[in-house]
Amino acid sequence: MHPVHANALREPGRGQPQSGPGHRSLLLLGTAAGICLALASMELYLRLFPPSFIEKYLGEACPLAGPFAADDALPYKFRSVETLLSVPGVNRQEILGLVEASRVAREPASVPSAKGHDRPWVILGNSFAVEHEGSYSWRLRRMFPKQPMFNLAAVGHGWYWHLAQLKTLLEAGCCPSRCFVTVVPVDLLDIGQQDIDSHFVTSKGALTIKPKLPPAPFGSVVANVRLALAAWVRADRQMPYPGFDMGHVHESKERHPAGFVRDTERVIREIGRLSVRHHFKVTFVLIPSYRQIVQGAKFSPQDLFIRCADEFGLGYVDPRAAFQSSPDAQHLYLVRHLSAEGDRLVAEALREQIIRTGN
């Protein structure tokens, strides 16, 4: 037999883990402390270096600066024409031309230097309204060659952006006699995805969004804890109507969210107010989408605009009948944009409306 070591008799538990209640409590406390430290570190990091996907939901804490100012009817406007001109992507030449044409139009007819006093026309919208050879705006200029005309359409900017641009220029003294507001169904995604009143312009001119919050008490957690906000945004629950997409835009009016219809009416009412205050005519150019003409989607967006335009005394051009009666509707679009033939149909409809209503 092997002799038993004396230390083994005196320390029977040596080398074996303790498993009593005290040890388990220390283990739980250590784990909890580690988790809390990790969460605190992540929270601190998100406050010091907020990722881009939550920046626009931080309100006054947003680290960005921007060119915007608060507005009472639209989500925002630009602080000034000078600020607008500094925004990348705007057509500086067209804006400056509009400013100068408006100045000349306001001069008395007796001023020898004034070459003409026709108040200019303005074209607004996204890529469907951008001037290029064959586009409807390109054709419109050639239909009315003596009419001063300025294309302020901008690619990559939404519906609100175009109207903010117009309002800023009007308040700066521009005086168009007619404004063409190009509308395609995708423009209404802006309204469906974010309520007008959810927009907030910071003191640094950045445009932020007040996120939709969950019910109490979780709402205060999301509003005050960056980790919770990041998770809420990642889950895409910050929108007033989560999941709102082009399918919802084309739904019948009975299935539109109340806020979607209310905000659309609010924007069109503001355009009507501006037209009365600044004495210009408005024509909504309601361009049908590929989905509507080729795939049979409903014309709910156009119907909503027509109803509001009639209510507020504004003009519109709706060429859907010409598109639908085309012998080859597929060829009216080019990569789901308008082809030359599609633009021609829009321009012809516009010419008829302009001749009928005058300038």
Mean pLDDT of 99-106: 88
Tell me whether residue 150 is in a domain: yes
Angle at CA 18, nearest 5°, toward 13 and 19? 130
Q: Is 178 helix (H, G, I), strand (E, B) or coil?
A: strand
Residue 295, domain extent: 89-195+243-332+346-357
- Does 156 or 98 have the greater pLDDT score? 98
What does pTM read for this prediction?
Answer: 0.84
Task: Give the total number of structural domains in the chain.
Answer: 1
Looking up residue 182, the CATH number of its domain turns out to be 3.40.50.1110
Tokens of 180: 């063409």
* Each residue's pLDDT tens digit, 126-177: 899 999 999 999 999 999 999 999 999 988 788 899 999 999 999 999 999 9
Residues 6+ apart with CB under 8 A from 52: none
Tell me whether residue 80 is in a domain: no
Counting Cα atoms < 13 Å in the Cβ hemisphere of 191 gives 27
Q: Is 10 helix (H, G, I), strand (E, B) or coil?
A: helix
Q: Is 156 helix (H, G, I), strand (E, B) or coil?
A: coil
The 10 Å Cβ neighbour count of residue 234 is 12
Instruction: Please report which helix (H) or strand (E) contains residue 80, including its range.
Output: none
- Does 358 or 282 have the greater pLDDT score? 282
User: Residue 107: pLDDT above 80?
Assistant: no
Distance CA 240, CA 192 (A): 8
Tell me whether residue 39 is in a domain: no
Q: Which residues are bridge partners to 207 per DSSP? A: 201
Tell me whether residue 52 is in a domain: no
pLDDT of residue 256: 81
3-state secondary structure 272-340: HHHHHHHCCEEEEEECCCHHHHCCCCCCHHHHHHHHHHHHHCCEEECCHHHHHCCCCHHHHEECCEECH
User: Residue 8: pLDDT above 80?
Assistant: no
